[in-house]
Structure 1
Amino acid sequence: MDKMYVAEPYKIKVVEPIRMTTRAQRQAALERAGHNTFLLDSRDVYIDLLTDSGTTAMSDRQWAGLMLGDEAYAGSRNFFHLLETVQEYYGFRYMVPTHQGRGAEHLLSRIAIKPGDYVPGNMYFTTTRAHQELAGATFRDVIIDEAHDPQADLPFKGNVDLRKFQALIEEVGAEKIPYICLAVTVNLAGGQPVSLQNIRDVSELAHRHGIRVMFDATRCVENAYLIKEREPGHAGRSVREILKEMMSYGDGCTMSGKKDCMVNIGGFLAMNDPELYQAATQLVVLYEGMPSYGGLAGRDMEAMALGIQESVDDDYIHHRIMQVRYLGDRLAAADVPIVRPVGGHAVFLDARQFLDHLPQDAFPAQMLAAQIYLQSGVRSMERGIVSAGRDREGQNHHPNLELVRLTVPRRVYTYAHMDVVADSITDLYEDRRRIPGLTMVYEPKVLRFFTARFEPLPVTQDGARQNALPA
């Protein structure tokens, strides 16, 4: 490849040893885990690309901030530092800390949704939709059609289709839509960004009908960077400036601090509406803790405030995006099918195309993630039919996207680690026809991808692997 990739904008001060296991050891670990990479022990993993959630390497400033934790039960000074930072960098007036992002999703769903409501969004996310449905809402996908096509190479595949949004308003009435959930970026589409113009247009349409705009801001800094890079007129602006403008078109956000806030635990719900804030403070006491800590220690809030500041450093976020893109470029050069364009936090393998001999009901993405681990000790994550779950009638959702996510933790791995990942997946792709399907042998009722267990489909009498479920 003739591209130039920026070097790491940091020095390594502390290291954590990792070890490569044998194939036999990995086979045993995979069987213990029921072919579910979530159930693998981290000690059995060589390079861990399961998630970028809570896996960040914190900076020396953040580690120093841990020593400044004010562990008062109420009114911690770290809470006020975090609040002031959220106000400065995101622009929202009020903030309630939560133990992580799904705590914020839970609070928002409980205080904003009534049974029978509809919540539109630019593609679902697993925990977000689960909280919305548990509160009695129906999720409606209003993302552009191209987002469901892994090979559609558009700069902003996370954009909302305004016609779909308008059609939902006309169908059910604005009074049944408490807010639109606008993800920036869109995880399950491949980490795809939303353009600033689309954010403006969504805000205008929603507010014209009295509908709130609530961001899933988990990877909003990555979205701001991709606006700077891809949207005309923004190349000369700082990521921090673009981020602040993005957030100005919304009424609040849910945030998993474990991603773009660069901490190992924490999140928050932010908003501008004082009544919504009061409702959140009442509920957070029941489910999380006092409104001034929300399930977090003071030291965690301090580290998150510092992480927010560091996240908008242009050198940091440039390297972050380039490292992910490097992995994508290595795989694309070997003709491995991936979602295009490469997004901000991960490279997504197109498992439907990678294992095109398997039907979707044989869980190709789940099996591909398992086989990647068996091949090289690299842990990844299924994002397909297993993650999509079942509908209210008990039938499997069949998403167009059947993906495996290779999620790059922030400030953790080097380009050499990305080479190991790319080489092992390339080797696996060349031998992909031998890979069988799976059958699910244990399925929890909610968010099954975390703890479901699988077994390879049986061998037929002639010794060939069975690749499809029986009719």
Structure 2
Amino acid sequence: MELPWVEPYKIKMTEDIYISTREEREKWIEEAGFNLFNLTSEKVFVDLLTDSGTGAMSDKQWAEIMIGDESYAGSQSFLKLKKVVNEVLGLPYALPTHQGRAAENVLFSVLVKEGFVVPGNSHFDTTKGHIEFRKAHAVDCTIDEAFDIHDLHPFKGNIDVNKLEEVYKSHPKENIPFCLITVTCNTSGGQPVSMENIKAVKALSDKYGIPVYFDAARFAENAYFIKEREDAYKDKSIKEIVKEMFSYGEGFTMSAKKDGLVNIGGLLALRDENLYRTCGNFGIIYEGYLTYGGLAGRDLGALAQGLMESTEHTYLKARINQVEYLGNKLIEFGIPVQKPIGGHAVFVDALSFLPNVPREEYAAQTLAIELYKEAGIRGVEIGTLLADRDPETRLDRFPKLELLRLAIPRKTYSYNHMDYIAVALKNIYDRRNEIKSGLEIVWESPILRHFTVELKKSNSVSNVLNSSRMNDKI
């Protein structure tokens, strides 16, 4: 008999979590303005809000915490990180930042100006926020297959090169600072980008003289899918794939809290020395000196070790298998999810799940609230709230998919937790036709509203009237 597959690690420490009652959860979520970000952690049983900075670190990473060099300049911990960025990721210049959005802020402060357009594959929330804050425009060029949850295309994160070329043709070259490839593509369901597509985007961009950059938060998971799904790479190591992948770009921004396997940190890596020097000035202004960038030395050392570990196949197989296990359980229960299952999360199609809740009443957020009340599970909406308002019309932007994301922290929860999540969703699915109304906004910020929005249960009649009035203005 063949031995079963097991996780390639053992557990050294556990953390107690409080098991609340439904009555408590219903009270807490109403007090939180029906915004799951407003809940304090002790009120959450299984936290799937994000996989960003919420995972468990290895013993070797904790060792780096203990031996961190806290020198203001020239830290040995930074030199470890710089060596990994050069040797594993293939880029000579590294600017650490306190997290990924800070790396975006530094790079975009140099490259993105008012009136510019930044094409890519479904830019994520902070990326789009940084672009629109500068009065520029993010243009989504993702392939159409990404928005059909039943299509089994193996690389739904791919950029449609025809859409991309149309952007290149219809805008002056000087108004397109770069093309941004997000790996994996979070907003389309944690879906990977193929190496073939990366090469095609690079070739087209070279033709028009446009640089290519990566949003590399989940670069290692993307490399795993390339190894598993592209025949030309099945015999390549993850590190070989990663190095080739980044060879087609001029640099990347990274939230290191994902595939860096750390609890805090970001990274801007660049190929051009002059751009590095210019970005370095902004890094010093916004983050800290060049060799620490808003992080303690111990964090730099843990990140260097984490980047080494996340680019090992054994770790990635364990990571992605657990996500796939949850996705397959939900599929068995008939629950509509984005297929194939993505790298870091399972994405539930809220519009199919809750057919009686109008889009204007934020179906994905409604489903997220129902899941919390049912079982104390905190997910996150990837839908109309996150898509925000059009910066010019100030009307809601309705994305092609309205999703509830269940992001799985790395090496944190057991397979029993996955079963618990699946059954909780099935219980809601079994009574889905009883859920006929959603939520409406009480207060929102002018940008990135989903983090701080305050909501209340919808008055469906008034919402329909307001929606009609908004449509009259379009």
Please tell me the TM-score bracket, short chain as reference: over 0.9
Calculate the aligned-residue CA RMSD, in Å. Answer: 1.4
The Cα offsets for residues 250-279 of structure 1, whole Å up to 9 and x where unpaired, read as: 110001000000000001101101111011
Cα distance in structure 1, aligned partners of 2:107 and 2:85: 18
Per the TM alignment, residue 134 of structure 1 is displaced from its structure 2 partner at its CA by: 1.7
- In structure 1, what is the Cα distance between the partners aligned to 2:148 and 2:174? 32
- What residue number does 2:472 align with? none
Instruction: Work out whether 1:56 is the aligned partner of 2:52.
Output: no
The CA deviation at 1:5 is: 7.7
What is the DSSP-based 3-state SS (H/G/I as helix, E as strand, rest coil) of the residue aligned with 2:232?
Answer: coil
Q: Distance in 2 between matches of 1:97 and 1:220?
A: 17
Q: Is the 8 A contact 1:385 1:399 kept in 2?
A: yes
Q: How many residues align?
A: 463
8 Å CA contact 1:358–1:467 kept in 2: the answer is no
Deviations 1:27-66 (A, max 9, x none): 1111111111111111011011110000010001111110
Aligned match of 1:447:
448
SS in 2 for 1:214: strand
- Amino acid paired to 2:454: R
Q: Residue 356 of structure 2 corresponds to which residue in structure 1?
A: 357
Question: In structure 1, how many angstroms separate the alpha carbons of the residues matched to 2:301 and 2:62?
Answer: 10
* Distance in structure 2 (CA, Å) of the matches to 1:427 and 1:468: 29
TM-score under structure 2 normalisation?
0.95
Structure 1 residues 277 and 5: alpha-carbon distance in aligned structure 2, compared to 1, 3 A threshold: farther
Contact 2:440 2:463 in 1 (8 A): no
Post-superposition offset of 1:285: 1.0
Q: Equivalents in 2 of 1:237, 1:222: separation in Å?
A: 15
More deviation in 205-214 or 305-314?
Answer: 205-214
Matched with 1:70 is 69
CA distance in 1, matches of 2:394, 2:431: 35
Provide the C-alpha distance between the structure 2 equivalents of 1:165 and 1:424, rounded to a whole number of angstroms. Answer: 41
Distance 1:5 1:155 in 2: 26
Residues 159-201 of structure 1: CA distance to partner in whole angstroms, max 9, x if unpaired?
Answer: 1111111111110122211100100110010001000010011
Task: Verify the 8 A CA contact 1:35 1:455 in the aligned structure 2.
Answer: yes
Percentage of identical aligned residues: 47
Whether contact under 8 Å (2:360, 2:463) holds in the other structure is no
Deviation of residue 468 (structure 1)? 5.3
> Match of 1:85?
84
SS at match of 1:136: coil
| 1:395 corresponds to 2:368 | no
Q: Counterparts in 2 of 1:13-412, with a 5 A limit? A: 13-392=12-391, 393-412=393-412
Q: Which runs of 5+ in 2 are unaligned?
A: 469-474
Q: Which amino acid aligns with 1:293?
A: Y
Residue pair 1:82, 1:304 contacting (<8 A) in 2 also: yes
The answer (yes or no) to whether the contact 1:441–1:454 under 8 Å persists in 2 is yes
1:463 maps to none
In structure 2, relative to structure 1, the CA distance for the partners of 1:52 and 1:15 (3 Å cut) is same
CA change 1:328–1:468 in 2 (3 A) is farther
Distance 2:446 2:99 in 1: 22
In the aligned structure 1, how far is the partner of 2:460 from the partner of 2:320?
43
Which amino acid is the alignment partner of residue 120 of structure 1?
A: P
Aligned AA (2:414)? T
How many Å apart are 1:149 and its aligned residue?
2.1
Aligned 8 A contact 1:391 1:397 in 2: yes
Deviations along 1:136-161, one digit per CA (max 9) or x if unpaired, are 32111111111122222210111111
Q: Which amino acid aligns with 2:179?
A: I
CA distance in 2 between counterparts of 1:411 and 1:117 reads 40
Q: 1:425 to 1:469 in 2, by over 3 A?
A: farther
Confirm or deny: 8 A CA contact 2:260 2:306 kept in the other structure.
yes
SS of the residue corresponding to residue 114 of structure 1 reads coil
Structure 1: unaligned runs, 5 residues or longer = 461-465
Deviation, 1:239, is: 1.3
| Residue 213 of structure 1, CA deviation | 0.6
TM-score, structure 1 as length reference: 0.96
In structure 1, what is the Cα distance between the partners aligned to 2:381 and 2:150? 18
